[in-house]
Amino acid sequence: MTIEEIRTKYLAFFESKGHKIISSASLVPDQDPTTLFTGSGMQPMIRYLLGQPHPMGKRIADSQKCFRADDIDEVGDNRHTTFFEMLGNWSLGDYFKEEQLPWIFEFLTNELKLDPKKVYVTVFAGDEKNRIPKDTQSAGIWKKLFAEKGIDAKDIEIGTEENGAKTGMQGGRIFYYGAKKNWWSRAGAPENMPAGEPGGPDSEMFYEFADIEHNKEFGEHCHPNCDCGRFLEIANSVFMEYRKKEDGGFEKLSQQNVDFGGGLERMAAAVNDSADVFTADTLALIIADMEKLSGNSYAEFQKEFRVVADHLRGAVFMIGDAVTPSNTERGYFTRRLLRRAVRYADAIGLPAGKLAQLAKRVIMSYGQAYPELARNADFIQSAIGQEEERFRKTLEKGLGELKKIATANARGAFGFSGDALFDLYQTYGFPMELSIEIVANLYKEQGNTAGIPEDVRKEFAKAFTAQMKKHQELSRTAAAGRFKGGLADASVETTRLHTAHHLLLAALRSVLGDHVHQRGSNITAERLRIDFAHSQKVTPEELQKIEALVKEKIAENLDMVRLELPLKEAMVMGAEMEFGVKYGDMVSVYVAKDKQGNIFSKEFCGGPHAKGTGELGAFKILKEEAVASGVRRIRAVLGDNK
């Protein structure tokens, strides 16, 4: 089955069970300062799991796009990816274990036709310290479900992964693990959860690839949570019914919830009985194109092909949600993905400048499910092509810097540190392992073949990791302070400039044409910045007309009116959409209109805004420039209100 077929089957199945199907949220969390990216299906649902009524009811299902930055360095094996789709279904105080477990078992074994003899499950062993009981109810439900398939399902106490490696399967099919494996919250195990955080025991489903032999590097014996590759987790039903209290204990939530997540590509791997998620069609098509372009085979360069395919797909989705490559905040990770993709593309002989071409394959594979990719295809490909070109120029400079520091020191090692490696990484995009590899080769050219001592490598890695964590924390803190729509804060000055931003976009479309659409924005208390689609430089005469039109609309003191209406109605009225934002069924639209009701500007937006444009004061365009192929940028300011 293809990714598209599995996704469609899943949503249709849960729709038949009374669920409302909702669209995926953006990879950029909406007003969530806890993380830079949407990394799980439940993240956009947290307020509803805590008791806020969902506008679509108590039964919800979707396919949520997710990105986990922490997994970048893990990509290369047969199952880790940075971007992934999480199939989800939720009961918000409605059904619970008795319905959820039979439904997901039915979907996997009847709809996807998985052999139930290859399915194994885990349940929560309990947490005495926090007085959270053992989940014998889920184990009992599983016993009945397997029995209906003619399988005698024995339950086994394992507790920890370490114990599982010692004891093995023991003829079991249902396995009890402790809180480190069968408890789910955004913070992990119960002891890691902050006060107020919801969580609960979970029940995971694993598919067995029977032709893969256990690798004893991962322990003496195999068990479902072994990392040898024989078992793959494909589904997880979280029974979210607890919240951590201020005193460190746990209390029941006001409602019992089900929070299900199933990795779409992992399900595809099970359905197609292939332990390699990169054989799923969406990734396999990218890899096939890479084979043609490079003349090399996936079988020979698996890690390299996997890194390029994963990172390129991740970058396409990131840019599709307006996270363009940069050195700060979320854009830092888009840049990191693309620059690693370039280095691994070179390793397999992929011709320079081909990443943008390969990005088209990603867009074609996912454009139906995620129309924002198809809608912004030109912009996405342009951004990727420019980033590759930019990186190749910095590579030349970086290699020069590496040569300068590739000298032996008194320890017989090298004249650089982990901090220096991070500087190279941050400045030139060199991964630590690449820097060490290049310097080692340069050092060998100087006559030393001993290589870099292992203890020195560890020192480098420790310092590099410390710097990376510091950088990520700064990025996360900076991003947490930003408001939706590119606003730095909600001050009066920023609010005035935000309102001026609306007028400027409308003026750009009026003077330059309806092809102009926003492609990014950043608004502080000092100035506004708008990126917009336009294929040529804006002439001085055009800039003068645009500025004059904004000033005219400020002088007219147009009313800024907020409308709340269905998404389809807002689209019919022609309201401008914010680039990279995924909208719900009901949306907020701000219009700027005169006293006779004539509308000058209409945009999807959540605010804040001035009540009238007369509050804005003097308006002035400071600069117009190119930022990407087909994308221009304008910076503007407001004077005082006198």
Q: Distance (Å, rounded) from C-alpha 281 to C-alpha 466? A: 38
Say how many CA atoms lie within 13 Å of 367 toward its Cβ: 13
Assign 3-state DSSP to the chain and report helix, strand, coil percentages, each to 5: 45, 20, 35
Q: Which residue has the tokens 């955004």?
A: 186
Residue 622, both tokens: 């400071």
Which of 253, 246, 251, 128 is closest to 179 using CA atoms? Answer: 128
The pLDDT mean for the chain works out to 88
> How confident is residue 76, by pLDDT bands cut at 50, 70 and 90?
confident
> How confident is residue 566, by pLDDT bands cut at 50, 70 and 90?
confident
Mean pLDDT across 268-291: 95
The pLDDT of residue 631 is 84
Residue 101, both tokens: 């477990």
* 185-190 long-range contacts, CB within 8 A, separation 24+: 186/34, 186/35, 186/40, 186/42, 186/43, 186/46, 190/127, 190/130, 190/132, 190/244, 190/250
How does pLDDT run across 316-361, given as a tens digit for each residue? 999 998 888 887 678 888 988 998 899 899 989 999 999 999 999 9
Q: Which residue has the tokens 């320079």?
A: 352
The pLDDT of residue 409 is 47
The pLDDT of residue 642 is 38
Is the pLDDT at 157 greater than 90? The verdict is yes
Is the pLDDT at 425 greater than 60? The verdict is yes
Q: Which of 137-146, 565-574, 576-585 has the highest mean pLDDT?
A: 137-146
How does pLDDT run across 362-382, given as a tens digit for each residue? 999 999 999 889 988 998 999
Query: Would you give the distance in Å from CA 251 to the centre of its chain?
Result: 31
The pLDDT of residue 608 is 77
The pLDDT of residue 640 is 60
How does pLDDT run across 382-409, given as a tens digit for each residue? 999 999 998 888 887 777 777 776 654 4
Which of 139, 94, 133 is closest to 120 using CA atoms? Answer: 139
Q: Which residue has the tokens 């002035």?
A: 620
User: Going by C-beta distance under 8 Å and a sequence separation of 6 or more, which residues neighbour residue 102?
Assistant: 141, 145
For the chain, give every domain's residue range.
3-278, 280-390, 406-479, 492-638
Mean pLDDT across 9-15: 98
Is the pLDDT at 164 greater than 70? The verdict is yes
The pLDDT of residue 432 is 72
The pLDDT of residue 46 is 87
List the Cα angle 187/192/195 in 5-degree steps. 85
Q: Which residue has the tokens 């300062």?
A: 33
Residues in the chain: 642
DSSP symbol at 279: G
Q: Which amino acid is at 333?
A: F
Is the pLDDT at 314 greater than 70? The verdict is yes
492-638 has CATH 3.40.190.10 classification: no
Q: Please tell me whether the overall predicted TM-score, pTM, comes out greater than 0.85 for this model.
A: no
Percent of the chain with pLDDT over 90: 60
Burial of 162 (0-12, 13-18, 19+ CB in 10 A): exposed
Is the pLDDT at 626 greater than 90? The verdict is no
Q: Name beta bridge partners: 520.
A: 531
Q: Which residue has the tokens 């690798």?
A: 215
Percent of the chain with pLDDT over 70: 89
The pLDDT of residue 214 is 96
The pLDDT of residue 377 is 92
3-278 has CATH 3.30.70.1230 classification: no
